[in-house]
Amino acid sequence: MRRNLIPAISTLAVVSLLAACGGGAGGPSSGGGKISDDKIVLGVINDQTGIYSALSGPNAVEAVKMAVEDFKAKHADDAVSKNIEVVVADHQNKPEVANTKAQEMYDRQKADIILDVPTSSAALAVASQALAKKKLYFNITAATTALTGDKCNKYTFHYAYDTYMLANGTGTTVTEAGAKNWYIVYPDYAFGQDMEKSFTKAIETSGGKVVGKKSSEFPNTSGDFSSQLLQAPAAHPDVLGTMHAGGELVNLVKQYNQFKLKDKGVGLSVGLMFITDIHSLGPDALAGTRFTDAWYWNFDQQNRDWADKFKEKTGSRPSFAHAGNYSAAMNYLEAVQAAGTDESDAVVKNLEGKEINDFFLRNGKIRAEDHRVIHDVYLAEVKPKSDVKEDYDYEKIVTTIPADKAFKPVSESTCKMGQG
Amino acid sequence: MTDLLQHAFNGLVNGSFYALLALGLAVIFGMLGVVNFAHGAFYMLGAFGAFILLNEAGVNFWLALVIVPVVLGLFGMGLERLLVRRLVALDPLYNFLLTFGLTLIFQDLLRMKYGSQPQPYPQPAGLRGTVDLGLFDFPAYQVFVLVFSVLVSLGAWLLLARTRVGMIIRAATERPELTRALGIDVGRWVSPVFGFGIALAALSGVLAAPMRAVSPLMGADLIILVFAVVVIGGLGSIFGSVAAGFLIGMLQALGNVYVPGLATTSVFILMAVVLLWRPAGLFGREETAV
């Protein structure tokens, strides 16, 4: 009896010693100081029911959950932690709500990273919380360049798109294609004003001219843009550039078509458009319109494969924000896996300067200087209805804008990372 | 000068929606003393009704223009019988809260089904071009909206001013007790009038579908402005609400051109001025304002 006990105890001691050392080869570390609170927590803060819920919203959460599942399947027993949670909060596009929710997520729900966060002002609030709590924040759906400019910090990364990339892509290419004279209409709030400035700069740099601009109240309660549209032809522009988003864009384009501005020689160019907007308008209302897209689901087989999986889960096709959320979550988890810990500084170190190629980030790179995640983006054109073969098959990719040309160069960045 | 006329005309088109919505609100307020907050929701339901009929059953715009107001009007009558009637005797706030609650329910039901992204609705086939109005061209559909709503407003006026039913309604609106004392069953007309008001909201919703974004919140955005229109026109005044509707539409359109940024605010400034100068509204009489 006693003789049997001794080897049993010693075996137990050796095993526990090994475990304490962080496990031998192949053993997942389920304890110790490497993974905080014994779990990795990904938080998603976005608009769950309002104007931006179709383009990111609940389906963005679904995309993050898909990334977690795929990560678990890929690494199986070797995964740095098997305990990965996704938590969600609705910020209603209000910065003060976003601020409180971010605080709550980092402190109480032990989130290691927050993802998404549409609405620029809300995104800036989350970025400041990320810095204060020293936890990560991957922005996907907010557009302001301030996140990688004046307000950049060590723990904030900017995925997918921004106002510079949109203006640079659409403003430059449309001007160079011959539409020299622009008439800009924009909603009178932070995003619209920022877009108007970025576009004006891009247009003038490439030899064009802004012959008129008109703001509209935000939010536009009457849904009416006819007075802005009626004034445009008098300035004889080649193209009308609209900086409106979501439901307002839908209203404006409907009225643009009704006033037959195209027949009066005024083309249409859209600053920011999601595939969900094209779906709302029907492709014919926008046929021929060019815009810059961060990602398109039907670009090639690789994108399509992912979009098929997304459709199985959600019943619809992904916008670039959905795909961006997946890619961001996946690349964060991979960085934790590589670093062997979810400790923020170690993960940031792993991410900085990393070159990534996945279905979302083509020729992707995480710039260490300002944390802008650069990748190929696309100049897209809306297909006429006759070319649409299935639901959401709305875009023709005209050209690919290479990663190093698509975003604001580091030399122009106002980010001072060290002092953040 | 042509520009000015064009903007003014454009304002009248937008005013059409205000006029039809305000007319419905005024009729309901006059007869029942109920401020129907759900009016914007019925406008939204009208637009969605047209959208659903087209997508589920292939019913075109013209048929929808008849079917949707009738169906929603009947629904409104049921609502009056079932809910609104029970609260009429109480403080007006109770019905205000009821209709506000109904608004939230309708909005969220549609949001659950269709999400908040706007839904597509094409322009009716015959009205896709432009019409030459002498001085300028204007989209045919917009011209149709204006003509149609003027005709509907005229029709409503004829109905109220020239028919026996209209006489009873007007009498019941202004002196319910006296009308009752003359042996007229006022209660019998309450439901149909409520339904009529709702049908007008639904009608303007159908008219809006090809022009505006069809989304669950489209009514909530508009209703505050329409309340201002009704107050300016004179609460319960039928002619006043229609006239104020067109007037405000024009004011807003011209404001957008000449003092952008103040266009919507100007409506509320006008409302404040009117309230100070003529508390009963531009066309309201002192008695009906009480």
Q: Is residue B231 part of a domain?
A: no
How many other C-beta atoms are found inside a 10 Å radius of the C-beta of residue A308? 11
- Average the pLDDT over B172-183 and give the result: 80
Chain B positions in Cβ-Cβ contact with residue A188 (cut-off 8 Å)? 261
A157: β partners: A138
Q: Does B218 touch chain A (CB under 8 A)?
A: yes
Contact B218, B47 (CB under 8 A): yes
Same domain? A156 vs A230: no
Q: Which two tokens stand for residue A185?
A: 């209409």
Same domain? A157 vs A180: no
Which among A46, A59, A224 is the top mutation candidate for probing chain B, defined by the most B β-carbons within 10 Å of its own β-carbon? Answer: A224
Q: Is residue B117 part of a domain?
A: yes
Question: Please, which residues have CB within 8 angstroms of residue B276's CB and are 6 or more apart in sequence?
Answer: none
Interchain proximity B137–A260, CB inside 8 Å: yes
Interchain proximity A226–B14, CB inside 8 Å: yes
Instruction: List the domain range (segments joined by +) for residue A275.
Output: 164-293+380-389+392-403
**Looking at CA atoms only, how far is residue B136 from chain A in angstroms?**
11
Largest CA distance in chain B: 57
Chain B positions in Cβ-Cβ contact with residue A281 (cut-off 8 Å)? 118, 120
**Looking at CA atoms only, how far is residue B255 from chain A in angstroms?**
9
**Looking at CA atoms only, how far is residue A222 from chain B in angstroms?**
6
The residue written with tokens 């300035």 in the block is A235
Q: Does B179 touch chain A (CB under 8 A)?
A: no
A55-69 tens-digit pLDDT: 889 999 999 999 999
Element holding A85 (H helix, E strand): strand A84-90
Same domain? A121 vs A63: yes
Q: Is residue A413 part of a domain?
A: no
**Looking at CA atoms only, how far is residue A371 from chain B in angstroms?**
32
Same domain? A179 vs A310: no
Q: Is residue A1 part of a domain?
A: no
% chain B with pLDDT above 70: 98
- Average the pLDDT over B180-188 and give the result: 84
Q: Does B263 touch chain A (CB under 8 A)?
A: yes
Q: Among A53, A222, A251, whose Cβ lies nearest the Cβ of B222?
A: A222
Evaluate the CA torsion angle B92, B96, B102, B105 in order and state its sign.
negative
Contact A198, A227 (CB under 8 A): no
Half-sphere exposure of A349 (CA within 13 A, CB side): 9
Alpha carbon of residue A221 to chain centroid: 28
Question: With a CB-CB cutoff of 8 Å, which residues 220-239 of chain A face chain B?
Answer: 221-224, 226-228, 230-231, 234
d(CA A331, CA A71): 10
For residues A91 and B290, the model is more confident at A91
Which SS3 state, helix, strand or coil, does residue B51 take? helix
**Looking at CA atoms only, how far is residue B45 from chain A in angstroms?**
17
B253 band by pLDDT with thresholds 50, 70 and 90: confident
Which SS3 state, helix, strand or coil, does residue A90 take? strand
Rg of chain A's alpha carbons, rounded to an integer?
Answer: 24
Q: Is residue B198 part of a domain?
A: yes
**Paired sense of beta strands A355-356 and A364-366, if any:** antiparallel
Q: Which two tokens stand for residue A416?
A: 């001072």
Q: Is residue B261 part of a domain?
A: no
d(CA B64, CA A158): 47
Chain B positions in Cβ-Cβ contact with residue A51 (cut-off 8 Å)? 116, 217
A66-116 tens-digit pLDDT: 999 999 999 988 999 989 999 999 998 888 999 999 999 999 999 999 999
pLDDT at position A40, please?
A: 95
Interchain proximity B116–A215, CB inside 8 Å: no
CATH of the domain at A174: 3.40.50.2300
Same domain? A323 vs A359: yes
Q: Is residue A127 part of a domain?
A: yes
From residue A230, how far is each of A193, A257, B257 by CA, in Å? Answer: 21, 12, 9
d(CA A188, CA B265): 15
Contact A143, A77 (CB under 8 A): no
Q: Point out the residues of chain A with pLDDT beneath 70.
A: 1-33, 221, 418-420
Same domain? A221 vs A319: no
- Average the pLDDT over B143-156 and give the result: 94
For residues B92 and B44, the model is more confident at B44
Q: Does B139 touch chain A (CB under 8 A)?
A: yes
Q: Is residue B142 part of a domain?
A: yes
Contact B10, B143 (CB under 8 A): no
Backbone torsion region of residue A356, taken as left when φ is above 0, otherwise alpha when ψ lies between -120 and 50, otherwise beta: beta
Chain A positions in Cβ-Cβ contact with residue B213 (cut-off 8 Å)? 223, 247-248, 250-251, 254, 280
Interchain proximity A280–B117, CB inside 8 Å: yes
Interchain proximity A223–B212, CB inside 8 Å: yes
Q: Among A217, A246, A277, whose Cβ lies nearest the Cβ of B261?
A: A217
The residue written with tokens 């309901």 in the block is B28
B130: β partners: B139
- Helix extents (H) in A209-266: 226-231, 246-258
Same domain? A271 vs A396: yes
pLDDT at position B69, please?
A: 97
Interchain proximity B123–A258, CB inside 8 Å: yes
Same domain? A371 vs A384: no
pLDDT at position A280, please?
A: 83
Q: Is residue A13 part of a domain?
A: no
Q: Is residue B156 part of a domain?
A: yes
From residue A271, how far is each of A198, A248, A292, B144, B263 by CA, in Å? Answer: 10, 13, 8, 32, 25
Chain A positions in Cβ-Cβ contact with residue B217 (cut-off 8 Å)? 51, 247
d(CA A242, CA A232): 12
Q: Among B116, B120, B141, whose Cβ lies nearest the Cβ of A53?
A: B116
Same domain? A283 vs A348: no
Instruction: Report how many domains make up chain B.
Output: 1
- Average the pLDDT over B65-76 and give the result: 97
Q: Is residue A334 part of a domain?
A: yes
Q: Among B120, B122, B211, whose Cβ lies nearest the Cβ of A280?
A: B120
From residue A239, how far is each of A124, A215, A229, A267 by CA, in Å? Answer: 33, 16, 12, 4
Q: Among B120, B256, B261, whose Cβ lies nearest the Cβ of A227?
A: B256
Size of interface A-B (CB pairs under 8 A): 99
Q: Is residue B136 part of a domain?
A: yes
Q: Is residue A46 part of a domain?
A: yes
Q: Among B111, B118, B141, whose Cβ lies nearest the Cβ of A258?
A: B141
- Average the pLDDT over B103-126 and give the result: 86
Q: What single-letter amino acid sits at A364?
A: G
Same domain? A156 vs A178: no
d(CA A112, CA A118): 19
Interchain proximity A254–B210, CB inside 8 Å: yes
Chain B positions in Cβ-Cβ contact with residue A251 (cut-off 8 Å)? 118, 212-213
Q: Is residue A202 part of a domain?
A: yes
Q: Which two tokens stand for residue B211?
A: 């022009």
Which SS3 state, helix, strand or coil, does residue A1 take? coil
d(CA B247, CA B143): 17
Which among A231, A254, A263, A382 is the top mutation candidate for probing chain B, defined by the most B β-carbons within 10 Å of its own β-carbon? Answer: A254
Q: What single-letter amino acid sits at A27?
A: G
pLDDT at position A8, please?
A: 53
Q: Does B104 touch chain A (CB under 8 A)?
A: no
Contact A170, A406 (CB under 8 A): no
Same domain? A178 vs A279: yes
Contact A383, A393 (CB under 8 A): yes
**Looking at CA atoms only, how far is residue A394 from chain B in angstroms?**
14
Q: Does B286 touch chain A (CB under 8 A)?
A: no
Question: Please, which residues have CB within 8 angstroms of residue B245's CB and are 6 or more apart in sequence?
Answer: B15, B16, B17, B18, B19, B20, B21, B22, B23, B229, B233
Instruction: Report how many domains make up chain A.
Output: 2
How many other C-beta atoms are found inside a 10 Å radius of the C-beta of residue B187? 11
Which residue from B minimizes the CA distance to A255?
A: B211
Interchain proximity A50–B130, CB inside 8 Å: no
Reported ipTM: the value is 0.71
Q: Is residue B74 part of a domain?
A: yes
Cis geometry, peptide bond prior to residue A219 (ω within 30 degrees of 0): yes
Same domain? A155 vs A247: no
- Average the pLDDT over B50-64 and give the result: 94
Contact A241, A271 (CB under 8 A): yes
Q: Does B55 touch chain A (CB under 8 A)?
A: no
Q: Which two tokens stand for residue A413?
A: 């960045």
Chain A positions in Cβ-Cβ contact with residue B123 (cut-off 8 Å)? 258
**Paired sense of beta strands A181-187 and A156-158, if any:** unpaired
Virtual torsion, Cα B30, B31, B37, B39, nearest 10 deg:
-100
Q: Does A276 touch chain B (CB under 8 A)?
A: yes
d(CA B222, CA A75): 53
